[in-house]
Each structure stands twice: as structure tokens, then as C-alpha cells.
Amino acid sequence: MSASVERDAQGRRRARWTPWLLLAPGFLWLFWFFYLPLSALLRMSLSTKPSRFAVPEFSWAWSNYEQAFSDYGSQFTRSFTYALAATSIALLIAYPVAYVIAFRGGRYRNVLLGLVVVPFFTNFLIRTLAWKTILGDQGAVVSLLRTVGLLDANEALLRTPIAVIGGLTYNFLPFMVLPIYVSLEKIDPKLLDAARDLYSNTWRGFRKVVLPLSLPGVFAGSLLVFIPAAGDFVNAYYLGNAKTTMIGNVVQDQFLVQNNYPVAAALSFVFIAIVMVIVAVYSRLLGTEDLT
């Protein structure tokens, strides 16, 4: 009897430690490759450089954060404005696409999903450069818009906010389609049949049944598009001009050109803090609970 009790106690102890053992590799990975670099970046953001090529010295230099807000406020505003516009456009495009694939795709569903992720087979930079060619003054898009009178002969699309937002939308659109598709695909079609049996029309059934159940996918897709779009610098560099620079361009310039690591690190932490606040507010408004 005592041996059985002892074995049960040992089993309970193993069961209690098993989750922690399973989580240990992930925690170690995050510690070495996320928290340690982040702490080094935080220390760098509070350092000063006596000269351009000098080694930064830790000195609790909060002035770096003051400079981040005072000198680059317009770039922060522009980054989040462009990211919000790209996220909104991506949602308007992605939701109908995901809906059609989930409910009307049939045997072609996998093919359609493959077409959504095909752009990922090409390098991000090459995709952006392709947009530079498409939106160029001699490209088909500009020629068509000039033909129909939407663009004057001396107007251009390239090196404008429209080009930057278009590039952001195109490059991150699959990140919006896939989460929404996953949420829609899990919806039981019988729920729509039940809504029709209760005299609900198509629009009301969508608004009362499909849309609420797909909100987790909308939430996930919005974050997956908004966050990388806000921190992107490639699209603004190749498709924009000096007046469309985003905060990612500033961080890149401070790190790689100006060698001003403390200010670049402070800009990075300010960006992280703003994104965390936006995500918290958005999560509060939309909710993250999986309704399905």
C-alpha cells in the first residue's frame, strides 16, 4: 500500500514539473536571443557618445528619449498613419478573399490559398523593386491613369505616400488573409442555415454570425500587418521620397550611417512602447478571446 502511495506521489511531482520542462527550451531561447539583446539595447539607449566614432558610455542619458520625441515626432506620426492606412486597405481586400476561399473555394481551396502565399516565394526586396517598376512614370499603371484622366501628364505615383502605402499593403496582405481564412474556415455552415431558418437575410446573417466569429482572425491579421508595416523602412526608401520617410528609415540611418547608436536605440524603445500601447488599446476594444 505504501509503495503505491509513493508511486502516486512521484507521479504527481513529475506531472507538476513536466510543463516547466517543456517550456524551458522556449524560455532559454527568449532569454538569450530576446531579453539579453533587449537589455543591451536599453543600456545603449541611456548612453552617450563623446564623438561620432567613440565607444558609447552608459550615463543615464534620458536626453536621447527627449531627442527621439522632439526631433522625429513627424516620422513616428507618418509611420503609424501609413501602417493604419495599409492595414485598413489590406482588411478591405483580404476579408472578401478569405470569405470566398473559405465558403466558396470547394476543391480549389488549396490552390487559392497557394496563390495567396505565392508572393512569399520571392524576396521582400525584389517584390518592392517590382512595385517601383510598376509604378514608374513609364509603367502601365501610370499610363492607364493618365489615359483615363486620373493623372495629369506631369503627375506621378512613384515617390509619393500612395506608392508607399500601396507597397506596404501588397507586401503584408497575405498576413491578413491567412488568419481571417482560418477563423472563417472553422465556422460551421449549419449556423448560417439556422440563421436563414430564423428568417435572417444574407447580410444580417453575416453581421450577426460570420463577422463576430471571425473577429479573432481580424484581430490577429491586423496586428500581423500593422506592426511590421509601422516599422518597415524598405518601402519608404524605394517607393517614397525625403518627405515620406518612416521611423524605420530614421533608425536605419542612425545605426548604419550616423553611427549614433544611443539615439537609434532610444528611437527603437519609443517605437516599442507606442506599439505596445496601441496593441493594448486595440485588444481592449476588439477583444482577443477566441469566440469560436
pLDDT of residue 46: 92
Confidence of residue 5 (pLDDT cuts 50, 70, 90): low
* Cell output for 272: 516599442
Mean pLDDT of the 265-277 span: 93
pLDDT of residue 179: 95
Mean pLDDT of the 62-66 span: 91
Mean pLDDT of the 184-210 span: 78
Average pLDDT, rounded, for the chain:
87
pLDDT of residue 291: 44
Mean pLDDT of the 177-196 span: 85
| pLDDT of 2 higher than 70 | no
Higher-pLDDT residue of 196, 177: 177
Residues 6+ apart with CB under 8 A from 11: none
pLDDT of residue 177: 95
Confidence of residue 6 (pLDDT cuts 50, 70, 90): low
Mean pLDDT of the 98-105 span: 90
Q: How far apart are CA 77 and CA 74, in angstroms?
A: 5
* H-helix segments, the chain: 2-30, 36-45, 63-104, 109-117, 124-134, 140-147, 161-185, 189-197, 202-205, 211-231, 234-239, 247-256, 261-286
| pLDDT of 289 higher than 60 | no
pLDDT of residue 32: 92
| 8 A C-beta contact, residue 253 and residue 233 | no
Highest mean pLDDT pick, 83-92, 124-133, 142-151: 83-92
| pLDDT of 290 higher than 50 | no
- Residues 7-31 pLDDT 10s: 666 666 677 777 888 888 989 999 9
3-class DSSP state for residue 226? helix
pLDDT of residue 292: 41
- What share of the chain has pLDDT > 90, as a percent? 46
* Cell output for 193: 442555415
pLDDT of residue 57: 87
* Cell output for 218: 481580424
pLDDT of residue 80: 96
- Enumerate domains of the chain plus CATH numbers: 71-286 (1.10.3720.10)
pLDDT of residue 271: 94
| 8 A C-beta contact, residue 245 and residue 75 | yes
| pLDDT of 262 higher than 80 | yes
| 8 A C-beta contact, residue 235 and residue 158 | no
pLDDT of residue 147: 84
Mean pLDDT of the 75-82 span: 95
| 8 A C-beta contact, residue 287 and residue 278 | no
Higher-pLDDT residue of 5, 71: 71
How many angstroms separate the Cα of 130 from the Cα of each of 26, 151, 291? 38, 21, 40
| pLDDT of 124 higher than 80 | yes
**Looking at the whole model, is its pTM more than 0.85?**
yes
Residues 6+ apart with CB under 8 A from 102: 109, 181, 184, 185, 187
pLDDT of residue 204: 81
| pLDDT of 199 higher than 70 | no
